[in-house]
Amino acid sequence: MNVVTILISIIAVVIAIFLLSKRFKMTYSLLIIYIGALLISSIFIWFISIEDERERIKTDEMTNQFNETLRQGERERIDPLYLMKEETFQIDEDQELTLTSNYEWEVRVYVDRKNIDDGKVEASIYHIGPYVDGVYVTDSLAPYRLKKKEDTLGFYVPQDRTVKVTMGAPEFTVTQFKYGEVFSEDPIYANDPAIYLQVPKSLKIKRGEGVFIDYVK
């Protein structure tokens, strides 16, 4: 509790003692104190309220669009907000590159062959979310890593980091009309990460553990 809270509490107690004195009828005093507390808390919450950073994500539609855009090789259409990391690795075009991952499900890798053999693999990691109630909480996400060791390029997700989120949920008298049902929808949304690889045209790619390779059209 900070100084402001203590100060507010002291003022509230003083007002309460004054109002609860015999000069006022008990019910009126209680009403004034209660409504006062409700209004003060409403003003306080108004000050600490946040705005949605983005439009609410419509999960399936968004996921399909995202994957389709990468499959088509139209990366420039993807919001830079979803780009987590970009890295370039030197490679010998004659070797075979194995892609692996420790991700709990298969991570999708989009392989885009360049027109030249420039000895470079340019990798980008994309990730949508996690969103909680439409607010992006990626700052709390430990960055994913790409590591090249000999002829293997690995995608590594760090150990689970615990994040505590406190949010106000809309009341059922609101969700009934807002979402069409009494219980509001799951406020947490995230899409699986995707890797976009631009590789030299003659480099051979081998699918390792935990990855699904999709070649860009």
14 or 35: CB nearest other proteins: 35
- Residue whose C-alpha is closest to residue 111's, from 168, 70, 144, 140: 70
- Cβ neighbours for 44, distance < 8 A, ≥ 6 positions apart: none
Rounded least distance, CB 124 to other proteins, Å:
17
28 or 215: CB nearest other proteins: 28
The three-class DSSP label of residue 185 is coil
* Strand 96-101 to 188-189 pairing: unpaired
DSSP string spanning 68-128?
HHHHTT-GGGS-GGGEEEEEEEE--TTSEEEEEE--SSPEEEEEEE-SS--SEEEEEEE--
| Residue ranges in 68-87 that form contacts with other proteins under rule CB under 8 A | none
| Residue ranges in 132-161 that form contacts with other proteins under rule CB under 8 A | 132-133, 135, 137, 140-142, 144, 157-161
**Binding mask 93-112 vs other proteins (x if CB under 8 A, - otherwise)?**
-----------x--------
Whole-angstrom Cα distance, residue 110 to residue 71?
7
- Cβ neighbours for 67, distance < 8 A, ≥ 6 positions apart: 108, 194
109, 126, 127, 194: which one binds other proteins (CB under 8 A) = 127
11, 39, 81, 116: which one binds other proteins (CB under 8 A) = 39
Rounded least distance, CB 164 to other proteins, Å:
4
Q: Catalog residues that contact other proteins under the rule CB under 8 A.
A: 1, 5, 25-28, 30-31, 34-35, 37-42, 44-46, 48-52, 104, 127, 129-130, 132-133, 135, 137, 140-142, 144, 157-174, 176-178, 180-182, 186-188, 190, 192-193
